[in-house]
Amino acid sequence: MKALILLGDPGMGKSTVLSEQESISGKMQHDSSQKYLFLNLRSYKTDSRLADDLLKSSTFKEWLAGTHTLHLFLDSLDEGLLSINTLAAFFADEFKKIPSERLYLRIACRTVEWPDLLENALQDWLGKDVVQHYVLAPLRKKDVEEAARVSGLGADHFLIQVESSAVVPLAIKPVTLKFLLSVYRKQGSLPSSQSTLYLEGCRLLAAEPSDSRRAAGYQGELTAGQRMAVAARIAAGMIFGNRNAIYLGTNPAEAPDEDVTLPELSGGTESDDGVRFNLGEKEIQETLDTGLFSTAGPNRIGWGHQTYAEFLAAWYLKKHDISISQIKSLITHPNDLAGKIVPQLSETAAWLAGMIPEIFQAIVQAEPDLLLRSEVATGDSPRRATLAEALLQLYENEHVFDRDRDHYKNLAHPGLADQLRPYVADNTKGIIVRRVAIDIAESCNTQSLNEALLAVALDTSDNLQTRVQAASAIGGIGDDETKKKLKPLAFSVNPDDLQDELKGSVLRALWPSLITAQELFSLLKPAKSERFAGIYRVFLSSEIVAHLAPQDLIPALEFVTNLEQPRDELDSSLESLMDGVARLAWDNMNVPGVTEGLARFVASRLKHHDNLVQGPSGERDPLFFTQEQNKRRCLLEAVFSVAENETESDIDWLDFSDPPLVLLEDFEWLISCLDRFSNKKEQKAIGHILQHIFMRNNIRQLELIYDACNRHPVIAEIFNWVWQPILLDSDQAKEWKRQHQRQQMLNRRRDRPVLTPSPAERVIAALEKCEALDSAEWWQLLRELSLEANATNYDSAFEWDLMKLPGWMSAEPTIRERIVLVTEKFILCHAPNSADWLGTGQWKTSVLSDYSALAFLLQTKPGVLHGLSSTQMEKWCPIIVSFPFLHNDRDRAVRDDLLKIAYDKSPNVVLEVAKILIDKEIRTGERIGTATELNTIWDNQIANFLLQYAKSNETKPKAMGSLLSVLFAHDNTAEARSFAESLLCLPPPQAEPDRTRAVVAAQTLILDTPDSGWETVWPAIHQDEDFGKEVILGICSDYASIGLRLNEGQLADLYVFLRRHFETPQHPSGEAYYCGPLDNVDMWRNAIIQVLIHRGNFRACEAIRKLQQEFPELDWLKSVQADAETETRRVTWVPARPQDIVKLANYSELRLVQSGDQLLQVLVESLERFQAQLQGETPEAQFLWDNISNSDAKPKDENTFADYIKIYLEKDLKQRGIVLNREVRIHRGQRTDI
């Protein structure tokens, strides 16, 4: 497949799979037809560096220029230093610029992070059918058992330990299974929590030196615990500093911005078991040589798995007793008043929540869905209960959509049913929160809610979508008694169930154990909505056959046999069911009655001349019946037996069935069947089949037919024509003669002799004529060069590039030199006449060959063209300017180079030719293509030349727009813009053609200027709404780039206009439909929302709040607001410096300040220390009073008091270095700020 998207949760092995592919490809580099390029997106901090490593890499450039295949692997899409939305937008933009042929793409990403933007871009670029997703499934029990066995452990005892320790969720992921195996091997038992597992697992990895050091007998100077402490510091510096790898180069100044250097991490001390030790570069180097780390490229080391770093960074803060307020300042965004987490730190925050109760409480109040996505913070029942309640409240307020259903299993706890029951049962609650409650119940197998779910499913007054959800949940977790109670719904009519979702859910719950095949097939009908791919159609297409027992094939075959329509009129789900039943019947023909039923099905399809069976994806399967001859012939006999009930013409089609039931090798067997089938109708059917496969020249067949004719009158009648004489002037003789003549003609065409003289000889003959200065022979030389060595005739297709022609590619060097020389003479001496073809659109081969000569000389002897005089070049300008056959960038590059030479030597003639072509285009069309071709030679003269056309009243409005579009693509277009803006008076003109010209001018300004001409266009749209609608409808299919050029406020204004003045198109939910203008406007509205979300700034958040105020009925904007705020936190986060994280851990009084609130907190803490100092052992409060010993003592004046506090703050904050990441300046009389 062209694009494979590998999805999965952290630790499922996505990167491992790609790494294995990288290793395999390394062994295949000798294969020149296949090249491989691997990029780990985790290491890119700027898209410019990513563009360099991808688009400017030698591997990529060689692929673009070559003919080989490139396999592009992109790992860690969701873990990049760049946001996933930035990466998605980058690839969406870049992919569409490169050819999709010869490229195979593999991307790894976490399931919940996979962006729709990139999904849609890939499907548009490559096609929907070739973009496939594979989600890495959890390890199975037998996989875990095999891993234990390969590791040399007692597999049975290990599995018992896994289950008794309740660590099955850890065992089903490769990365944590590896930890489990290591811990079990070392300790003989397993931890019960993921935190303990990672702690022990990382400790084991830290204890293991690299293979090379182990082989050298070097054990290192640090203990395992000390290496663990060093690794934790490295993790904290990288995670909170947003660094991807450790740079080991000799010059730290050369390190990429996304790398951390050894000096940034070293210095000071760390401790292990209460013993402090110095931590320098030597200690870091030793730690990097353990199993925790792996190479990330030349002079770069990364983590063996990203989860190691995320865990150890959290453990580092916990180990150093960092204060709760300081941890919050590290993981929350300083400008988010709700205290939400920086997205890049979400996994580390989840680890912290699992280690520190106060952090859990803070996150569960602000962002419970973050904890849901992580198993590490939901280890015990009380926490799960707290999280479940917070999530239900979140969804009840509809602030987010329920996107994380795969993680609901993390909420299981003893009191879950009581938490969920009010939401499941109360039909006054919102659809989203009830859907979430039902999904949680199903994910956590909460069977005590079966009765509540059943009540919802049976309640006809309840919301249909919720009823479907409840019925589906019963199908997933319900016991048989509960499922049985759904059965009345299967047999009743539900008029509201317009898309058969309830019907599909109920049948899925009942089949196969609680409803018989006879009952099921009596209930099946075509889907009410053929274009809606819902539960019922999935049930029909795949789930029925998956559970269909061989003994139930008889009613199934009866059902598919009674389908009246041909395949092309059948719903695809019924077609899939039909194929599935037929395949299962073929595999079970030994079951009584199945062969006869399958025969009746075959006969029913012959009526429609249909394929009898197709593959799972609708493809032909020509070998389906041919593998087992005895079974095929058994089925054929059964088909003959049902022939009595079918028309002769239907059975005749057996010979043409697809897959074929009758083969040429069956002739003798079919003859033998005549003796077993005495019924004339059956014999007649066999006879017609024999007639179709009969070969008159086969002596053995003639003998068999002769014998059969003597014994069976029916056969004698059918084959009468074989033995009867044919009159030479009869119609039959004439027909046979025509067939014979046609066959002879086909044979002659197939066996046509090669040309004489040979192509090589023809080339030499044409060369000699050209050398004799016969310029008329140039195009004939080109024609001779187009011949293959074994050619039988001339190819009618024209190829302008002489160097691609077979004759050139096979020519000897001396012949090539002669071709170059005659081409030079042709260019210098030939006098082409353009008067009879220029501007007509008519092209002769001799005219096109003139261009071939110019292009050929440009590539072989360009100096000749550059040396032409102005007069010599003039005659070639018409063909250069007007040549139409430019199919790719290379073609265009050659023509552009020729055009530059022509314009340099004969600018006026080039413009004269362009004028002829543009005049014709203005008369006949709306797009001025010639103007676009002049881009490569652009200057002020051309700009003025085209602008005069645009201003002309003779130019039609759309042609004017085409010209303005070309003009706006260049810098020197101020006059063109002024002209376009001048057409947009306020209010916009009402009379024609001025109004249409104004509409087109507005459209062109929006589409083709850097700021979309908004300051001019928007007032006109705002003042004349009908004018605005006309402008919008004309460009609504080209909206993609407009949003990128508008600011956030302008986007909000545009969205309001589109929402108020264009109704939302009404299409059946989930169905395919034709996209009209209103659909394009709707997609434009949606695109504006996506642009605002991905802007990643506070202005975008404010614009969305404005939309919420304008359209309070759009509840989904709450979720949009949440997404925009998340992206803003991601983009605007300023990570700490790694060295500041180290200082923070070693000196508890230090603080990082990134916002005004954090600064105020630092000041409050400092003033509290000041307060203590005033009332301390030697109180300083006395110094705040004048004449303290006298009765008239009074406080110092305000200025003196301010100076006193300033002196204190200078000492406390500045001299002690309390604020790590800011230069502290204290000024009297100024407000606090950063």
For 227-281, the pLDDT digits (tens) are 999 999 999 999 999 999 999 988 888 898 899 999 999 999 999 998 999 999 9
> Nearest 5°: phi and psi at 1159?
-65, -40
Domains: count for the chain: 5
Cα(89)–Cα(453) distance, rounded to whole angstroms? 42
Long-range contacts of 1027-1030 (CB under 8 A, 24+ apart): 1027/988, 1027/995, 1027/998, 1027/999, 1027/1002, 1028/1057, 1028/1061, 1029/1061, 1029/1062, 1030/999
Cα(202)–Cα(293) distance, rounded to whole angstroms? 11
Cα(466)–Cα(482) distance, rounded to whole angstroms? 17
Given 853, 877, 905, the domain boundary residue is 905
Instruction: State the SS3 of 941-990.
Output: HHHHHHHHHHHCCCCCHHHHHHHHHHHHCCCCCHHHHHHHHHCCCCCCCC
The conformation of residue 488, written as its DSSP 8-state character, comes to: H
- Helices (H), strands (E): how many in the chain? 65, 13
Cis-peptide, bond into residue 512, ω within 30° of zero: yes
Contacts of 1177 (CB under 8 A, 6+ apart): none
Indicate if 1128 and 1164 belong to the same structural domain: no
Q: Which two tokens stand for residue 766?
A: 């044409």
Q: Which two tokens stand for residue 369?
A: 């869905």
Residue burial 138-172, b: 16+ Cβ < 10 Å; e: rest = ebeeeebbebbeebebebeebbebbeebebeebbb
Q: Which structural domain range is residue 765 located in?
A: 755-905
Contacts of 315 (CB under 8 A, 6+ apart): 199, 232, 351, 355
β-bridge pairing 131-135 and 103-110? unpaired
Query: In this predicted model, what pLDDT tens digit does every residue of 982-1030 receive, in sequence order?
Result: 999 999 999 999 999 999 999 999 999 999 999 999 999 999 999 999 9
Indicate if 739 and 868 belong to the same structural domain: no
Say if 583 falls within a structural domain. Answer: no
Indicate if 17 and 68 belong to the same structural domain: yes
Q: Which two tokens stand for residue 412?
A: 């299981």
Cα(84)–Cα(246) distance, rounded to whole angstroms? 22
Long-range contacts of 1154-1159 (CB under 8 A, 24+ apart): 1154/329, 1154/334, 1154/1221, 1154/1234, 1155/334, 1155/335, 1155/1234, 1156/1232, 1156/1233, 1156/1234, 1157/334, 1158/329, 1158/334, 1159/1232, 1159/1233, 1159/1234
**240 in Cβ contact with 345 (< 8 Å):** yes
**241 in Cβ contact with 1136 (< 8 Å):** yes
Contacts of 237 (CB under 8 A, 6+ apart): 243, 260, 264, 265, 1138, 1139, 1141, 1142
Instruction: State the SS3 of 228-248.
Output: HHHHHHHHHHHHHCCCCEEEC
Indicate if 730 and 760 belong to the same structural domain: no
Indicate if 781 and 818 belong to the same structural domain: yes
Contacts of 304 (CB under 8 A, 6+ apart): 205, 291, 292, 293, 294
Cα(154)–Cα(724) distance, rounded to whole angstroms? 84
Indicate if 54 and 124 belong to the same structural domain: yes
Indicate if 788 and 901 belong to the same structural domain: yes
Cα(132)–Cα(113) distance, rounded to whole angstroms? 16
Q: Which residues does the chain have with pLDDT short of 50?
A: 216, 1234
Strand order across the 131-135 sheet: 34-40, 69-75, 103-110, 3-8, 131-135
Cα(328)–Cα(334) distance, rounded to whole angstroms? 9
Indicate if 733 and 867 belong to the same structural domain: no
In 3D space, the residue among 194, 146, 186 whose CA is nearest the CA of residue 170 turns out to be 194
- 3-state DSSP call for residue 176? helix
Given 888, 905, 922, the domain boundary residue is 905
Helix (H) / strand (E) containing 1029: helix 1025-1035
Indicate if 843 and 858 belong to the same structural domain: yes
Given 1065, 1100, 1132, the domain boundary residue is 1132
pLDDT at residue 225, rounded to an integer = 94
Tell me the C-alpha to C-alpha distance, in Å, between residue 417 and each of 375, 450, 472, 633, 692.
Answer: 20, 10, 17, 59, 70
Indicate if 39 and 130 belong to the same structural domain: yes
Say if 672 falls within a structural domain. Answer: no
Cis-peptide, bond into residue 993, ω within 30° of zero: yes
Say if 477 falls within a structural domain. Answer: no
The conformation of residue 262, written as its DSSP 8-state character, comes to: H
Q: Which two tokens stand for residue 535?
A: 């539960």
pLDDT at residue 619, rounded to an integer = 65
In DSSP notation, 190-223 reads --SSHHHHHHHHHHHHHH-B-HHHHHHT---SS-
**448 in Cβ contact with 515 (< 8 Å):** no
Question: CATH number, domain at 80?
Answer: 3.40.50.300
Cα(1177)–Cα(934) distance, rounded to whole angstroms? 87
- What length is written for the chain? 1234
The partner residues of 8 in beta bridges, in order of sequence, read 110
Q: What count of Cα atoms within 13 Å lies in the side-chain half-sphere of residue 318? A: 21
Say if 1209 falls within a structural domain. Answer: yes
> Nearest 5°: phi and psi at 429?
-80, 165
**Which sign does the torsion angle of CA 262, 267, 271, 272 carry?**
positive
pLDDT at residue 1234, rounded to an integer = 47
Indicate if 731 and 868 belong to the same structural domain: no
Cα(883)–Cα(899) distance, rounded to whole angstroms? 11
Indicate if 895 and 812 belong to the same structural domain: yes
Q: Judge residue 273's burial from the number of C-beta atoms within 10 Å of its C-beta, 0-12 exposed, 13-18 middle, 19 or more buried.
A: exposed
Query: In this predicted model, what pLDDT tens digit does every residue of 404-424 receive, in sequence order?
Result: 777 888 899 999 999 999 999
In DSSP notation, 685-748 reads HHHHHHHHH--TT-HHHHHHHHHHHHH-HHHHHHTHHHHS---TTSHHHHHHHHHHHHHHHHHH
Cα(959)–Cα(921) distance, rounded to whole angstroms? 8
